[in-house]
């Protein structure tokens, strides 16, 4: 029997493959990417309606992306700790790509290359610690939710740049995101991965 902690609807529905907003245009648009379509089908309608590019809104979304990046690093550490090293290169590439995709509004001299290098180094350190038995991390429900919220932001922004999800759209990053998200669904159905909280530090502010 699949055991899932209560209290995080985004996580619960994603793991079960359920969509709360079956009529979501974004979810229908992403039907060729089932895991992303599931995420899109659970985005609160008020979030989609309120999507804009004001500074305040963008700053809030960036903080969510940053929490997502740290969550993804924690996921990588979990993979390393459980001997799933074959998935790590693709996850690292996606983390670096996501870090480069979303500019840092709090840095005057923001450089996407520096961002890639920073998060790539954090990933390498976390994976190394897990592989060497220094940390044995497990993802909390809160960290999983942070990942999903960040992916929501990514797919809203990126999918919105294309009229349809064709090969160009997949190659732009949606294909890699689909592969990573599908891996989450597979790994997070394991009850072992739902119980303990990982030890990797994260930013203190969590947005909902």
Distance CA 153, CA 13 (A): 18
The answer, yes or no, to whether residue 192 has pLDDT greater than 50, is no
For 167-174, what is the mean pLDDT?
Answer: 94
Give the Cα separation of 76 and 11 in Å (integer): 18
Where along the chain do its domains lie? 9-194
Tens of pLDDT, residues 119-154: 999 999 999 999 988 766 778 899 999 999 999 999
Residue 155: helix, strand or coil by DSSP? Answer: helix
Instruction: Tell me what the mean pLDDT of segment 60-89 comes to.
Output: 93
Confidence band for 197, pLDDT divided at 50, 70 and 90: very low
Stated pTM of the model: 0.85
User: Each residue of 19-61: pLDDT tens digit?
Assistant: 998 889 999 999 999 999 999 999 999 999 889 878 888 899 9
* CA geometry: angle 75, 80, 84, nearest 5 deg: 95
Task: Look at residue 41 in the predicted model and tell me its pLDDT.
Answer: 96
> Across residues 166-186, what is the average pLDDT?
94
């Amino acid at each position: 029997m699949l055991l899932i902690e209560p209290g995080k609807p985004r996580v619960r529905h994603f793991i079960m493959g359920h969509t709360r907003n079956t009529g979501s245009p974004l979810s229908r648009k992403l039907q060729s990417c089932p895991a992303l379509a599931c995420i899109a089908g659970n985005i609160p309608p008020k979030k989609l309606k309120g999507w804009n590019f004001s500074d305040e809104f963008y700053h809030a979304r960036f903080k969510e992306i940053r929490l997502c990046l740290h969550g993804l690093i924690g996921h990588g550490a979990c993979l390393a700790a459980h001997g799933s090293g074959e998935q790590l290169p693709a996850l690292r590439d996606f983390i670096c790509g996501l870090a480069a995709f979303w500019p840092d509004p709090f840095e005057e001299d923001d450089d996407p290359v520096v961002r890639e290098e920073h998060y790539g180094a954090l990933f390498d350190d976390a994976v190394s610690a897990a592989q060497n038995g220094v940390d044995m991390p497990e993802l909390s429900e809160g960290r999983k939710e942070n990942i999903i919220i960040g992916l929501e932001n990514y797919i809203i922004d990126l999918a919105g740049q294309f009229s349809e999800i064709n090969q160009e759209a997949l190659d732009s990053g949606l294909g890699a995101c689909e592969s990573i998200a599908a891996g989450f669904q597979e790994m997070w159905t394991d009850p072992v991965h739902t119980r303990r909280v990982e030890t990797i530090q994260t930013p203190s502010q969590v947005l909902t």
